[in-house]
Structure 1
Amino acid sequence: MSPEVIGFSFIIIGVLLILGKTLRVFTPFLQKAFVPSSILAGLIGLLLGPEVLGQLGVELFDTGGLFPESMLNVWEELPGLLISVIFASLFIGKTMPHVKKIWEVAGPQVTFSHFISWGQYVLGAILAITILVPIFNLHPAVGALLEISFVGGHGTAAGLSGTFSSVGFEEGMDLAVGLATVGVLSGVLIGMTLINWGARKGKTEILSSPDDISEEQRKGMIANEEQDEAPAGHKTTRSEFIETLTVHFAYIGIAIGIGYLILEGLILIEEAFWIENIEIFTHLPLFPLAMIGAILVQFYLNKFKQNVLDPGVVKSIQGFALDLLIASAIATLSLAVIAEYWAPFLIMAVTAVSWTVFCFIFIAPRIMPDYWFERGIGDFGQAMGMSAAGILLINLVDPESKTTAKEGFSYKQLMLDLIVGGGLVTAASIPLFNAFGPVPALIVAAIVMTGWLLLGLLYFGRKKQSS
């Protein structure tokens, strides 16, 4: 594959992202639905590619559609590369708060998010045991798809493509990305419906009416007078010697490199000492260990007082990688796989969405000691597929951060993403389901889920009653 093809593939992805943004700005329905531009870009790419336009007989290239096979091959590889950038960026450039402070501010949200996540494992395993494996003859690892797709999102779903293939569940990646797309779209749409319901029923404590949401928020734009105040980051190095963006990108690369070394070490240990017929680390992807690498890099920088990283710049790099990942993953989605497995796909989608809505309406008010709607709506958005969707929904109900919802959401990530939502458990779930089957997974997940529920009800719930 030539460098020209790789470069041109990035250019076309950029064009698709601009088309998605333009479509959103000039379409009131998409503004009201708060559909991310990256999803629109991916859908445009999907429509113009071999899966839709090619099936209608338009064949500009041999693959059908408007894109050559070599370009599609580049796009298919991007998610597996970019997911490590995204997860390494989670802990780079951040001051690690004390665990006690995290728990005081974000404890209820940590508990609630873990309950949703482990509940998706429980429901996924039940579906695998009762319907998906015996009736539709799917791979046992299908039980992990709900948590991978909804709490994990596009990045995790696409980033696990190699793991799906290594256990013989190739169709799992397309099903996971499709479910993630359903999750994000329904999450934002249902989230807006819940916000309208909450504001009118007096459930929200800050937002008094849905009409309070500004036009700039709906369009995803920043007003001219506020653009200079946008937190795009600060320069930490002199450009004549090395550009600030270069330094940040380099440290993210070092974090990924450390994660790679850790993974290779774990594989060697497994090959030397582990049971011969069970492979866990061999199928483990790189991106959760990139988070470990990022923590080690940040610890080093803090230890030697190297203040060269800025959270705003890191966030921009992470957002850039996420936009490219979502657009490329959806644009290369195999609709044929989803069409073949449309019934199990629909069953999993309805189950995951229903579970998450149930948790928000009935569990969140009983766990959150204060501002249950503002806190819970962010966790709801993330559990439907995107952390960005969670932040978006919090910003809509609490635009001036008068509650602890946004702060708690940020702290919660430190105690969530390392475990589920793309963390070590999520990444290991496919190998574990493959090695031991869905029944042991169901037992373990049910125990953990129950533990989180009891903690929320008996500890944080009692705090709410006492206050």
Structure 2
Amino acid sequence: MTPEAIGFALLLIGVVLLVAKLIRVRWKLAQRLFLPSSIIGGGIALLLGPGVFGRLAAAMGTDRFVEGGLWGGGVLQVWSALPGLLISVVFAGLFLGRRIPNLRYAGRLAAPQIALGLTFSSGQYVVGLLLALLVLGPVFGLPPLTGALIEIGFEGGHGTAAGLDETFAQAGFPEGEDLALGMATIGLLTGIIAGIVLINWGVRTGRTRELTSTAKPSVAERMGVVERENRTAAATLTVHPSSIEPLALHFGLLAIAVILGQLLLWGLQALERMLWADTIELFAFVPLFPLAMIGGIVMQLVIDRFDRLQVVDRQMVERIQGFALDALIISALGTLSLQVIAANLVPFLLLAATGVLYCIGVFLFLAPRMLPSYWFERGIGDLGQSLGVTATGLILMRIADPELRTPAYPAFGYKQLIVEPFFGGGLITAAAVPLIVQFGAPPLLIAMAVLLVVSLLLGLLVFGRRREEPVAAAPPAP
């Protein structure tokens, strides 16, 4: 593959993303659903790929587009390699530029949110593994690994699903990546649609505390455009460009975080080979991105200690993350195999329906009893995340609490610091497939069931019964 081919494939992602944004601006349905441009662009990439455009062209008598659709096989080859690379950049920046708070303070504020978040996450494994063991395996002959697809696709999202491609392949289930990507798409769309429907229901029934029936998103918000009077800088110049480009500085910090994660992964794999690889292999299957997240945490601890000039800008890190995630989603969806989903359509729909019903059920029946106050505004964020990653949760919280007057945002943010290192693409998500391969599904099912029970008991009997503590304007220093 030539450098020109790689460059052209990257340029095409930018073109597709721009076209998708124009569609978002003009397409009313996409505005009402708040569809991200990356999802629209991923749909375009998929439709013009071999699975749709290529098959239509073949039906019309030409085999020219069978291999790569309108894009060509070389472009798809580049795109197929991007998600596994870009997801490490996304996860390396999760905590970079964000001061690590006092854990006692964060835990006290977010404890009910943590219990609810763990109920969503662990329960997705419980219902998924039960479905795999009782139905998908005996009836459809699918491996127990399918039981992990709900959490990987829903809460982990497209990035996590694509990042686990080699893990699925090494586990002897390469179809898992395409099924997980399909689950991620279903989860994201369902999260947005169901979330907006539930917010409208909450407004009509008086369950929302801040949003009234007269509060509606503006036309610009639906189009995904910031009004001129509300525009702010996307990032802050913390170093002079004559010395180093600020974007390059922050990319370098992310690069160090990823490298630290790679060194940690290599070290753990070497330790495993020396001590227990003859009987158990776990780290041989673990992907890089959760270790890149740990590398980012290590980097942030160093920054908290030595960055006296505060040159690390969180907004700049988020811009790099956002670009990586947009490119990741388009490349992942553009290389999605529709044949795999079609061949496993009934099991796929069973998994998706089970996951959606479980998450909505937790929000409607457990969130009011586990969160001591503002249950709707706080619960809707966790529902959006449990179905369609963190961004979906933030979108729904923004709609339900447009003025940011409830404790939903700080509680959600601190919960992320404690839960996200493990679920939603964290260590447990990454280790779930290797654990199932090595020990089978029952041990993981038992562990997740215990965690689910503990989360329910704490949420229902402890946190849900206490009075909400006041939210401080800023956390105490760690």
* Residue 56 of structure 2 is aligned to residue 52 of structure 1: no
Question: Tell me, what secondary structure is at the counterpart of 1:169?
Answer: coil
Question: Tell me, what secondary structure is at the counterpart of 1:134?
Answer: helix
- Match for 1:194: what amino acid? L
Alignment map for 1:95-174 (pairs within 5 Å): 95-174=99-178
Unpaired stretches in structure 2, ≥5 consecutive residues: 471-478
Confirm or deny: 8 A CA contact 2:92 2:289 kept in the other structure. yes
In 1, distance between residues paired with 2:221 and 2:365? 29
1:34 maps to what in 2? Answer: 34
- Match for 2:395: what amino acid? L
1:242 maps to what in 2? Answer: 244
- Match for 2:242: what amino acid? E
- Match for 2:356: what amino acid? V
In 2, distance between residues paired with 1:170 and 1:282? 16
- Match for 1:49: what amino acid? G
- Match for 1:341: what amino acid? N
Residue 107 of structure 1: how far off its partner (Å): 1.8
In 1, distance between residues paired with 2:183 and 2:111? 29
2:473 maps to what in 1? Answer: none
Provide, for residues 12-65 of structure 1, a one-character-per-residue CA deviation record: whole Å limited to 9, x for no partner. Answer: 111111111111111111111111110010001110110001001265545152
Count of residues paired in the alignment: 465
Alignment map for 1:340-351 (pairs within 5 Å): 340-351=343-354
* Residue 415 of structure 2 is aligned to residue 412 of structure 1: yes
In 1, distance between residues paired with 2:435 and 2:469? 42
1:286 maps to what in 2? Answer: 288
1:267 maps to what in 2? Answer: 269
* Residue 386 of structure 2 is aligned to residue 377 of structure 1: no
* Residue 445 of structure 2 is aligned to residue 439 of structure 1: no
Deviates more, 1:158-167 or 1:129-138: 129-138
Among 318, 325, 349, the residue aligned to 1:315:
318
In 2, distance between residues paired with 1:339 and 1:51? 11
Confirm or deny: 8 A CA contact 2:373 2:468 kept in the other structure. no
In 2, distance between residues paired with 1:305 and 1:23? 42
TM (norm. structure 2) is 0.95
Confirm or deny: 8 A CA contact 1:43 1:330 kept in the other structure. yes
In 1, distance between residues paired with 2:429 and 2:214? 36
Residue 342 of structure 1: how far off its partner (Å): 0.3
Question: Tell me, what secondary structure is at the counterpart of 2:319?
Answer: helix
1:399 maps to what in 2? Answer: 402
Question: Tell me, what secondary structure is at the counterpart of 1:153?
Answer: helix
- Match for 1:249: what amino acid? F
Confirm or deny: 8 A CA contact 1:356 1:384 kept in the other structure. yes
In 2, distance between residues paired with 1:29 and 1:173? 29
- Match for 1:400: what amino acid? E
Residue 215 of structure 1: how far off its partner (Å): 1.6
Confirm or deny: 8 A CA contact 1:196 1:210 kept in the other structure. no
- Match for 1:14: what amino acid? G
Provide, for residues 210-254 of structure 1, a one-character-per-residue CA deviation record: whole Å limited to 9, x for no partner. Answer: 652222221111001111x25x12111110110111010000000
Residue 105 of structure 1: how far off its partner (Å): 2.3
Residues 293 and 64 of structure 1, relative CA distance in 2, 3 Å threshold: closer
Residue 327 of structure 1: how far off its partner (Å): 1.1
In 1, distance between residues paired with 2:439 and 2:340? 26
Question: Tell me, what secondary structure is at the counterpart of 1:283?
Answer: coil
Alignment map for 1:46-85 (pairs within 5 Å): 46-57=46-57, 60-61=64-65, 63-85=67-89
In 2, distance between residues paired with 1:23 and 1:233? 26
- Match for 1:223: what amino acid? E
CA-atom RMSD in angstroms: 1.5
Confirm or deny: 8 A CA contact 1:60 1:67 kept in the other structure. no
Provide, for residues 396-448 of structure 1, a one-character-per-residue CA deviation record: whole Å limited to 9, x for no partner. Answer: 11111111111221211111110111110100000001111111111111001
In 2, distance between residues paired with 1:217 and 1:437? 47
Residue 295 of structure 1: how far off its partner (Å): 1.0
Residue 277 of structure 1: how far off its partner (Å): 3.5
Unpaired stretches in structure 1, ≥5 consecutive residues: none
Confirm or deny: 8 A CA contact 1:43 1:331 kept in the other structure. yes
Confirm or deny: 8 A CA contact 2:57 2:65 kept in the other structure. no
2:11 maps to what in 1? Answer: 11
Residue 453 of structure 1: how far off its partner (Å): 0.8
Residue 305 of structure 1: how far off its partner (Å): 2.6
